[in-house]
């Protein structure tokens, strides 16, 4: 009888505590990281050593460019080179008045936001911030240059057309090489390939 009671007590001890987690997280489980967080981690841990006239602009906006590299497959180098070419890194009249970094023209059928009319009569898309300009530009390239999405910068400059007329993409390639903007792509691709994450 005493033996039977002992067995019952042991069963109650083992099965009675239902508050303890039934499934334990493995020690080597890595929590999911959002693309926004991943971009911030890479940006916070990367300081390019290249010096050029647009280094301050690139440093300030590398995080958002890295994000759209990861999210939309648009190389950081392509984004920064186009911003430098189209608005001097935000220093042109269009960049200052309309926050339009990429020379995006306004067509009411394609853009629901505001617009800015330049002295020459051309209508340009107008944004509330440079961040909105980056977003719209990335979505535009993702939509209309789908064949290049996910490809490296060399593919873009050798296989894309339009946007800025004959020779435009060759010029973008020259800007990338001159300012070594491809280094941003290299570090992002390395982190993606190795799924490397950092503490913020």
Cα 54 to Cα 81: distance, rounded to the nearest angstrom: 10
> So what's the pLDDT on residue 49?
83
pLDDT digits (tens, 9 = 90+) for 135-180: 999 999 999 999 999 999 999 999 999 998 899 999 999 999 999 9
Q: What is the pTM of this model?
A: 0.82
The residue ranking higher by pLDDT, 107 or 4, is: 107
28-52 as b/e: b if 16+ CB within 10 A: eeeeeeeeeebbbbbbeebebeeee
Task: Evaluate whether 114 touches 95 at the Cβ level (below 8 Å).
Answer: no
> So what's the pLDDT on residue 29?
54
**Which of 7-16, 121-130, 151-160 comes out lowest in average pLDDT?**
7-16
Q: Kindly report the average pLDDT of the chain as a whole number.
A: 87
Which residues fall within 8 angstroms of residue 102, CB to CB, at 6 or more apart?
Answer: 82, 83, 86, 87, 133, 136, 137
The answer to whether residue 57 scores a pLDDT higher than 60 is yes
Q: How do the residues of the chain divide into helix, strand and coil, expressed in percent and rounded to 5? A: 55, 5, 40
Q: Averaged over 119-146, what is the pLDDT?
A: 97
> So what's the pLDDT on residue 94?
97
């Amino acid at each position: 009888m005493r033996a039977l009671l002992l067995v019952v007590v042991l069963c109650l001890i083992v099965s009675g505590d239902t508050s303890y987690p039934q499934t334990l997280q493995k020690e080597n489980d890595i929590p999911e990281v959002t693309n926004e967080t991943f971009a911030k981690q890479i940006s916070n841990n990367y300081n390019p050593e290249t010096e050029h006239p647009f280094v301050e602009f690139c440093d300030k906006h590398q995080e958002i460019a890295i994000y759209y590299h990861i999210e939309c497959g648009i190389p950081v180098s392509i984004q920064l080179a186009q911003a430098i070419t189209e608005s001097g890194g935000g220093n042109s009249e269009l960049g200052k008045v309309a926050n339009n970094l990429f020379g995006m023209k306004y067509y009411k059928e394609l853009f629901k936001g505001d617009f800015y009319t330049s002295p020459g009569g051309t209508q340009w898309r107008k944004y509330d911030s440079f961040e909105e300009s980056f977003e719209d530009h990335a979505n535009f390239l993702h939509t209309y240059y789908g064949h290049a999405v996910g490809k490296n910068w060399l593919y873009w400059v050798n296989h894309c057309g339009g946007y800025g007329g004959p020779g435009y993409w060759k010029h973008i390639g020259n800007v990338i090489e001159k300012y070594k903007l491809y280094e941003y792509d290299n570090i992002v691709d390395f982190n993606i390939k190795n799924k490397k994450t950092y503490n913020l």
